[in-house]
Chains A and B, each alone.
Chain A
Amino acid sequence: GAGVSQSPSNKVTEKGKDVELRCDPISGHTALYWYRQSLGQGLEFLIYFQGNSAPDKSGLPSDRFSAERTGGSVSTLTIQRTQQEDSAVYLCASSSSPGAQGREQYFGPGTRLTVT
């Protein structure tokens, strides 16, 4: 079946502009996660959605970052007033179970964001 998809695959933007990154999870997966992978920082958790519950935003690095998930499926990560330190690969993952703690997460190919 189809895996997690993300768009765009690459995004180059000028400092100060807003960007939107999209994630389409695996059909039927109730949990959706955003991570960021940058040089020297490894993989960092950003935000987590589980069903209709309030998202866990504890990993968002600043209030310039926000995310929403519409209809329990597609998610959009928005970065406002981008800064050069936002340059990274943004990875989305989804997981199948309401008791998601133990379930493996399946990752998308990522969006490589470059802020110039």
Chain B
Amino acid sequence: AQKVTQAQTEISVVEKEDVTLDCVYETRDTTYYLFWYKQPPSGELVFLIRRNSFDEQNEISGRYSWNFQKSTSSFNFTITASQVVDSAVYFCALRSNSGNTPLVFGKGTRLSVIA
């Protein structure tokens, strides 16, 4: 069975601080995909990144960076110099590469950035 765990339910930081959101996953598949989505107060889920299991290179996009560690089954997300607009619920998700499997989501981490 596949499982995604986001142990941090809520995080609160002061603007300009760096913050890391943790994601740990479980799967028996050798090939799989990992995703991060952002859900701002408006409610719509916004795709942030996709990473396949063959590619362990870390990725940086502006203030966002992702650290994929296959050895520890983790796919952590760091926001550098956080801003109030980063306040949202962030979901980590996993998808198998075999068959028509849906996304398996973690419970989400609610990030509040305080001015």
Q: Which residues of A contact B (CB under 8 A)?
A: 33, 35, 42-43, 45, 48, 50, 53, 56, 59, 89, 91, 93, 100-110
Q: Which residues of B contact A (CB under 8 A)?
A: 33, 35, 37, 42-47, 50, 52, 91, 93, 95-108
- Residues of B near A50 (CB, < 8 A) are 100
- Residues of B near A104 (CB, < 8 A) are 35, 47, 50
- Residues of B near A100 (CB, < 8 A) are 100
- Residues of B near A48 (CB, < 8 A) are 100, 102
- Residues of A near B44 (CB, < 8 A) are 107-110
Q: Are A59 and B102 in contact (CB under 8 A)?
A: yes
With A42-B108, A104-B50, A109-B43 known, 15 other A-B pairs at CB within 8 A are A35-B102, A43-B93, A43-B105, A45-B104, A101-B97, A101-B98, A102-B33, A103-B50, A104-B47, A106-B47, A107-B45, A107-B46, A107-B47, A109-B42, A110-B43
Q: Are B91 and A43 in contact (CB under 8 A)?
A: yes
Q: How far is the CA of A91 from the CA of B99 in the complex (A)?
A: 22
**CB within 8 Å: A-B pair count:** 59
Given A42-B107, A108-B44: A102 in contact with B52 (beta carbons within 8 A): yes
Q: How far is the CA of A33 from the CA of B45 in the complex (A)?
A: 13
Which of chain B's residues has its CB closest to A46's CB?
A: B102
Q: How far is the CA of A107 from the CA of B93 in the complex (A)?
A: 14
Give the top 6 A-B pairs by smallest Cβ distance, nearest first: A45-B102, A107-B45, A43-B105, A42-B107, A104-B47, A109-B44
Interchain CB contact (< 8 A) of A42 among B35, B42, B52, B105? B105
Separation in Å of the B18 CB from the closest CB of chain A? 26
Q: Are B100 and A56 in contact (CB under 8 A)?
A: yes
Q: Are A56 and B102 in contact (CB under 8 A)?
A: yes
Q: How far is the CA of A91 from the CA of B102 in the complex (A)?
A: 13
- Residues of A near B107 (CB, < 8 A) are 42
Given A101-B96, A102-B50: A89 in contact with B43 (beta carbons within 8 A): yes
- Residues of B near A105 (CB, < 8 A) are 47, 103
